[in-house]
Chains A and B, each alone.
Chain A
Amino acid sequence: MASHGIKDRVAIVGMGCTRFAEHFDKSLDDLIIDAAEETFASAGVTKDEVDAYWFGTAQSGMSGITLARPLQLEGKPVTRVENYCTTGSEALRAAAYAVASGAYDVAMALGAEKVKDSGYQGLNAFPIPNDGTARTLTAAAMFSMVAPAYGKKYGVSEDELTEVLARISWKNHQNGARNPRAQFRKEVSTETICASPRVAGRLGVFDCAGVADGAAAAIVVRAEDAHKYTDKPIYIKALSFAAGSGSGLIDPEYDYTWFPECAMAAQDAYAQAGITDPRHELAMAEVHDCFTPTELVLMEDLGFAPRGTAWKEVLAGTFDRTGPLPINPDGGLKSFGHPVGASGLRMFFETWLQLRGEATPERQIDTDKTLALTHNLGGYPGEMVSFVSVVGTELG
């Protein structure tokens, strides 16, 4: 038993991503077509030259037909993937393994979500018939229990925590403001962030990810074929996934100050990629900042800061776009928006732009490092799925 990974065996050779926004004028099909066409063009292939498709959507459609129909794919193997908010990452993981196995030469992963047609605020899970005893809390409420627990465990005062969380939100809005594809393209002052109406616990509106429609896609091939498609492939160094047992919800030992699933996935990903010092080896990371306390805790789960210290690093600007380890330079879920099935692939899209030096100049990170990380989670504290990838521009 082992997690061997597929380091350097698969490369991303084309990507596309729609703007994430309240696309009231666009259907799911429109978003799929826009992301797919950009990706086909990016890799220089036609839809027929792609051998297999993995389509990630949490709840905008069922089965591979949801992708095959708008793209008019004829007889292709098209599979729909769902794994909570890691759905987009899972589509890419499946496509990468398919190529690595030799089963196909060219595979596409496309994630899309149309959330703004529901008429409700926030994200709403598809109801499965049940006995009526399950919690009906919002994700915001579940994640809101993290900040007070963290503050209590590490002796961070309420005021300090407020400042830390506001700083995370401020940073991601700074980054999103410079990104033409982001949902929210406005800088927001920490005063505004702190004064926003409470949603759950101490979390205000500006602590929560944007809810948006959008789609993103990638084309993967075996590494040895990569240069047939692009001069600047992005190689997959690690793909790691951990599903929790849900026992955090009922285990008195769990203290809401960390996400074990994320720490496990990170450890596995670093082993696959041969990373020993992520804080200093990575050029940047895209992490699942569904709520500001999530990003705070992830800095420790992903090994970017020792336990109990990430809050100081946040305040020191370590994770700013111009800091030593930029986190969510594209704006993150907070300001880029969170169309569930597309978010995992959106994170890859940012590594694709940044590592290839193709982000617009005002937001291009300045680094000589070649590795980037994406982290994508789904579920709640205590009951979570987590994905971590490492990608890089160099083989070896």
Chain B
Amino acid sequence: MTRGIVSIAGYVPYRRLQRSEVAKVFGSGGGKGTRSVASHDEDTTTMGVEAARLALRAAPAAAPGAIWFATATPAYLDKTNATTIHAALRLPGDVAAFDFGGALRSGPGALRTALVSAGSGTTLVVVSDLRDGLPTSADESAGGDAAAAVVVGDDGPGTPVIAEYLGGASLSDEFLDRWRTAGDRRSRTWEERFGETRYVPLGTDAWQAGLKAAGITADDVDHVVVTGMHGRAAKALGRKLGVRDGVLADDLATSVGQTGTAHVGLVLASMLEQASPGQIVAVVSLADGADVLVLRTTPALADWAPADPVAAQVAAAVDLPYGKFLSWRGMVTLEPPRRPEPQRVSSSAAWRNEEWKFGFVGSKDRSSGAVHLPPSRVSMTGGAVDDMEPIDRADAEATIATYTIDRLAFSPSPPIVFAILDFDGGGRFPVELTDVDPDTVDIGQKVTMTFRKLFTADGIHDYFYKAKPVRMPGAPDSTTDTAD
């Protein structure tokens, strides 16, 4: 049975930090290029949801039997984060939702496990990470925030495999190159040279083993990326793979940064979006050993259309001032508005309203057609009671009917931009906008819903939807963020 990737998507947040901005403030640090920055209302779970929504949109017939969520920066410990993704995707209750937590290697590990588990049905592997570092550190600049979602399954009608898994290898080794203890905001690293002397031979051996398992040679490879937080080792290994010129693909380090747990999925999505049918695509991940995945694209790739390609997301980005970056990452604390902070969300109320809160599902009056957001038992027109059907609004586009900017309300990043939305296909809802420059908002603008974290109180994250402008790929609404 052919097993492989049925669909895949990357999610790169809207903001970028120009690495050169760091040295302008502190006199040191930074570097060339940009890194991606998750919005203040995003975490690894919300980014995972967005990636999963994109991957499933490109494979509407896929019905995952399990969600595996891997991150080194989980929003919750103890509590499973995959269940939040499960709820946001409105998957049935009998779909398993598991976290693969903690280590950077849990990303490639989850992906490889899903690929080698032939006959185990369809698994949605979601990898996501937020990479932090102290101001001026190498991690601050080299890191990035992103998520990726990979629908792994057996080839079947309606869900053809677009990239068949040919084989791979995983080598493990216990040595300290990078580590972080629970509660620490930053990772620590050993002297760079030591890691390099471990990773390069491990990667070389794993690469050879992977090619052998796939039954190919390095010459056959058409696209490959070496990923890993040890950038120097990844670069060195890339030169030793023995692939043809031009095969080594963009590892997104210059534009997005190294996104840790997420990166293997992100570069795989990027490569598959650019590959042609019948090509060999491989990825090598260096994290506490080395993992190699080798795939061959199928004819079905030609019919597969990514919902929002990684390249388009990389292009449609807006710069974030360094000060804002530091405050969003909690590295500096800004004076909040003098308003009370929000109260924690009620667990039971959230559970009762799961379809609404996590799925953005309203109700539609069967007789009058009036759409109610949130869902209502009694209609606002005609007086019908308990005669409504659910209506999914999460994927509907909407138009801004009117809007305002609230400079007084509590927000982790004031001001709040707030709009009254009229949805295509029915429904009006007043909601906060995100990923937006307040100066560019306008009546009539098209927006789409995005899953976000509104605030955190008493350790409880309040997940719900906001709206963001619909952007044409490669055409950001402005080149710099002037939000203040």
Q: Chain B, 404-422, contact with A by CB distance < 8 Å: what is the 0/1 string?
A: 1111111000001010101
Segment at the A interface, from B84-92, B108-116, B288-296, B334-342: B334-342
A154: min CB distance to chain B, Å: 15
Contact in complex: B407, A120 (CB < 8 Å): no
Contact in complex: A131, B353 (CB < 8 Å): yes
Give the complex CA separation of A132 and B343 in angstroms: 9
Contact in complex: A200, B407 (CB < 8 Å): yes
Q: Residue B134 at the A interface, CB < 8 A?
A: no
Give the complex CA separation of A124 and B407 in angstroms: 15
Residues of chain B lying within 8 A (CB to CB) of residue A130: 345-346, 349
A69: min CB distance to chain B, Å: 27
Q: Chain A, 236-256, contact with B by CB distance < 8 Å: what is the 0/1 string?
A: 000000000101011110101
Q: A120-B340, A132-B464, A251-B428 are in contact. Are A145 and B408 (CB under 8 A)?
A: no
B265-302 interface (Cβ within 8 A of A): none
Q: A132-B464, A200-B407 are in contact. Are A137 and B343 (CB under 8 A)?
A: no
Q: Residue A149 at the B interface, CB < 8 A?
A: yes
Q: Residue A138 at the B interface, CB < 8 A?
A: yes
Give the complex CA separation of A201 and B443 in angstroms: 13
Contact in complex: B349, A122 (CB < 8 Å): no
Contact in complex: B406, A121 (CB < 8 Å): no
Q: Residue A303 at the B interface, CB < 8 A?
A: no
B66-90 interface (Cβ within 8 A of A): none
Q: Residue B329 at the A interface, CB < 8 A?
A: no
- Chain A, interface size category, equals 35 or more
Q: Residue B396 at the A interface, CB < 8 A?
A: no
Q: Residue A183 at the B interface, CB < 8 A?
A: no
Majority DSSP secondary structure for residues of A touching B: loop
Q: Residue B401 at the A interface, CB < 8 A?
A: yes
A381: min CB distance to chain B, Å: 10
Residues of chain B lying within 8 A (CB to CB) of residue A6: none
Q: A144-B404, A251-B380 are in contact. Are A131 and B409 (CB under 8 A)?
A: no
> What is the total of A-B residue contacts with beta carbons within 8 Å?
118
Q: A245-B380, A250-B372, A251-B380 are in contact. Are A145 and B356 (CB under 8 A)?
A: no
Contact of A200 among B342, B356, B405, B464 (CB under 8 A): B405
Contact in complex: B346, A136 (CB < 8 Å): no
- Chain B, interface size category, equals 35 or more
Q: A120-B339, A132-B357, A141-B418 are in contact. Are A200 and B404 (CB under 8 A)?
A: yes
Q: Residue A133 at the B interface, CB < 8 A?
A: yes
Q: A132-B454, A250-B372, A251-B428 are in contact. Are A137 and B409 (CB under 8 A)?
A: yes
Give the complex CA separation of A130 and B404 in angstroms: 24
Residues of chain A lying within 8 A (CB to CB) of residue B408: 121-122, 138, 140-141, 199-200
Q: Residue B427 at the A interface, CB < 8 A?
A: yes
Contact in complex: B346, A133 (CB < 8 Å): no
Give the complex CA separation of A382 and B420 in angstroms: 11
Give the complex CA separation of A245 and B379 in angstroms: 10
A209: min CB distance to chain B, Å: 13
Q: Chain A, 279-319, contact with B by CB distance < 8 Å: what is the 0/1 string?
A: 00000000000000000000000000000000000000000
Q: Residue B139 at the A interface, CB < 8 A?
A: no
Q: A132-B345, A136-B342, A249-B430 are in contact. Are A201 and B404 (CB under 8 A)?
A: yes
Contact of A131 among B340, B356, B406 (CB under 8 A): B356
Residues of chain A lying within 8 A (CB to CB) of residue B350: 131-132
Contact in complex: B406, A138 (CB < 8 Å): yes
Give the complex CA separation of A148 and B462 in angstroms: 31
Contact in complex: B339, A131 (CB < 8 Å): no
Instruction: List, sorted by A's number, 12 A–B pairs whose CB atoms are closer than 8 Å.
Output: A121-B337, A124-B339, A131-B346, A135-B418, A138-B339, A140-B406, A141-B404, A141-B405, A145-B404, A145-B420, A148-B402, A200-B408
Return the 6 tightest CB-CB contacts between A and B, nearest first.
A141-B406, A132-B345, A247-B380, A132-B462, A129-B346, A201-B404
Given A131-B345, A138-B339, A199-B407, 10 extra CB contacts under 8 A: A120-B339, A127-B340, A131-B346, A132-B345, A132-B346, A136-B342, A138-B406, A141-B405, A250-B371, A250-B429
